[in-house]
Structure 1
């Protein structure tokens, strides 16, 4: 091959390559780009920043006091409510009277308690144990709910405000499940 032929061949290959690469871009004109728009999902709030979950349960003394007060004033209220009903019928007003309900503010000094029966990795065993305990009449639950295979799943019985009641139930739990469990303070945000 002569040098002149080699130069022509190289030039032809170069021009064809340029044509294949550049000409489609020129002929296509303005290209449109598709950009995906997305909204950022905010991070979940930390559990420590959430307010604690409090369950207001009246103690026995306050229940007895409110029942006695309701019983004594119930007869007086019946007579006055009947008069109010008759007066409303006469006036043609059909709206019911709003009753002011006084709810006592309760503060609890005593914590609630639970029995932690155990920690398991097999989720099927956890669900069977919780079902068995519920059938026997215990208030049983697991954390996390539902049980996750391969992770630590805790089984609890309770909560109960009386530690003595849970201590008495421990013997029944040992007979039923073979697990004695450990009594701990109940924290609704327990992890």
Structure 2
């Protein structure tokens, strides 16, 4: 009995598989294949080529003459002795070892975009914030404070900046940490 049921199941599976494979081919009919029409490229037209000679003016046009002499070759190596070396003063040596932060040059950019500032922290003691601001200004940082309300408390945020680019302030973070011992973060500044 089980063999008849198995034979019927196997037979119906074979018929279904054949129907799935053969029937779509029968109902599709003739398949139409599109072929692109290639246009023949036209042959180059016959054109008369006219040669013209360029006549340079013989009179002086009043411009600055150009020296077409080749430049002198540079020496491969330069050897300096202690007598030939340039003299460096002590003041120049000490200033090169400890470069002072100079105010950044003004950047001409789109000023409608908000800038960035470094927030060094939020403190409740105004005296400590003022001392830090004096210390930062002595090192040519643009530092200032701002009062904010947080959970009903008045805190004073210590900020450095502003600057137009975030990368400019991120370069100052290690020096600010060394100077103040505070871990700063760059935040958006909207006046």
Which range, TM-score by smaller chain? 0.3 to 0.5
The structure with the greater share of residues assigned to helix is 1
TM-score of the superposition, structure 2-length normalised? 0.39
TM-score of the superposition, structure 1-length normalised? 0.39
The structure with the greater share of residues assigned to strand is 2
Larger radius of gyration: 2
